[in-house]
Amino acid sequence: MKKLSYLLIAIIGISLISCNCDEKKEKTMEEKIVVTDEQQDYLGITNKEYLSAASKRALKWRTDLGNEWFFEYKVFDLKGDFAYEEGVVRRDPSAMIKHDGKFYVWYSRSTGLSQGFGGDNEKDKVFPWDRCDIWYATSEDGITWKEEGVAVERGKKGAYDDRSVFTVEIMEHEGMYYLCYQTVGGVYNVRVKNQVGLAWSKSINGPWTKSEEPILSPADNGVWKGEEQNRFAVEKKGDFDSHKVHDPCIIPFKGKFYLYYKGEQMGEQITFGGRQIRHGVAIADNPKGPYVKSPYNPISNSGHEICVWPYNGGIAALITTDGPEKNTVQWAPDGINFEIMSSIKGAPHAIGLNRTADNEKNPTEILRWGLTHQYKSWDYQYIRGFETWNIKNHTAKGETKD
């Protein structure tokens, strides 16, 4: 009996040793990376046999990218009705389009101070983007702007958009104009759900017909913890967009309509030094929907305001403000699977792109100039201009570069 037990133990031991050896062998084979002489020289790797995690990541980078995806920027004041005005909030400019020799832009507009969540949320103005309507303005040169009035108002009491309509984007398609925007209905508390509305018109000056229901809503599949108004207290967080859908932008792409948006998650956390913000996309056959969220969502690991444009048969995106991949320009050939193309120093907030630009001339040509907003104070923001440029070299004074 003892001999049999010893024999079984020996067999099991040999099997374990064999399994461990096989696992180590497989692991070694998996981790074996062949580094060419060109890669070693380009990346400055000291020894091909000893690769750090950084070197392994670098070996996956594209080496055919120049500086065409990289830019620096500056912002400047505008004139006319976009000059700073105390007591008035103008923020989140849409993209600009041109009609009859004039640039058009839409934006969020409200008045008065913001009280935050400490007071009467039914009567107070909680945020600068609370109690907003969507206005529009025109300009002949992109510098001096004339405010034309309201384009889309908040809905009637009880509607999904009766509290605020804001963060708007414009799309022109086959003779029709479409405004998609963020909405809040009811009492603005910290657990309120944000949705996306749509308005359309045959004329760039309106009047605008609004969708009776939201065209996009949060996943709403998290579970709040308790009844207290605490948006960080959750039993289950749910999808990346379980709490809010923000910053919508519709792009015609490959015969369909891609609605890009920012998702906020219930129980949102601070990670990598920024808020836990990611982007998603919903796709429709018709501009008015229905929009179906992609099963590949989220399509970014970072970001804040949506800034997307067509380029080279795909979609480019500027990712800013939050997350481990913030301050990058990314591109996806299919509009979904984005790869980092450049890392930038920073970018203007809430960019209003110039849709009249030749976006195929250069990956960031559409960013050469546009609109942004800036905080004068917590209560008041105003719309400013920006311009960007590519960095061509990094030579020192008196140095030449071949």
Predicted pLDDT of residue 31: 62
Rounded CA separation 285/299 (Å): 20
Helix then strand then coil, in percent of the chain rounded to 5, is 10, 35, 50
- Is the CB of residue 197 less than 8 Å from the CB of residue 181? yes
Contacts of 265 (CB under 8 A, 6+ apart): 222, 237, 238, 239, 240, 241, 242, 243, 276
Predicted pLDDT of residue 16: 44
Q: Distances from the Cα of 238 to the Cαs of 220, 276, 282, 325, in angstroms?
A: 7, 13, 18, 22
- Tokens 């009249």 correspond to 356
Burial call 343-363: b when 16+ CB within 10 Å, e when fewer = ebeebbbbbbbbbebebeebb
Tally of helices (H runs) and strands (E runs) in the chain: 3, 25
Rounded CA separation 270/279 (Å): 16
Token duo for residue 48: 């091909």
Cis amide bond preceding 298, omega within 30 = yes
Q: Identify the CA nearest to 95 among candidates 179, 215, 173.
A: 179
Token duo for residue 177: 């104009």
Rounded CA separation 288/56 (Å): 45
Q: Distances from the Cα of 252 to the Cαs of 125, 209, 303, 313, 320, in angstroms?
A: 35, 20, 22, 12, 23
Rounded CA separation 205/198 (Å): 16
DSSP letter, residue 119: S
Token duo for residue 333: 């050939």
DSSP letter, residue 113: -
Rounded CA separation 239/180 (Å): 22
pTM for the model stands at 0.90
Q: Pairing relation of β-strands 88-91 and 244-253? A: unpaired
Contacts of 237 (CB under 8 A, 6+ apart): 222, 265, 266, 267
Q: Say how many CA atoms lie within 13 Å of 383 toward its Cβ.
A: 30
Predicted pLDDT of residue 28: 44
Fold classification of 72-389 (topology level): Tachylectin-2; Chain A (2.115.10)
User: Tens-digit pLDDT profile for the chain (402 aa)?
Assistant: 444 444 444 444 444 444 454 444 444 444 689 999 999 998 999 999 999 999 999 998 877 777 899 999 999 999 999 999 999 999 999 999 999 999 999 999 999 999 998 788 888 999 999 999 999 999 999 999 999 999 999 999 999 999 999 999 999 999 999 999 999 999 999 999 999 999 999 999 999 999 999 999 999 999 999 999 899 999 999 999 999 999 999 999 999 999 999 999 999 999 888 899 999 999 999 999 999 999 999 999 999 999 999 999 999 999 999 999 999 999 999 999 999 999 999 999 999 999 999 999 999 999 999 999 999 999 999 999 999 999 877 777 887 766
Residue 270, beta-bridge partner list: 275
Predicted pLDDT of residue 2: 45
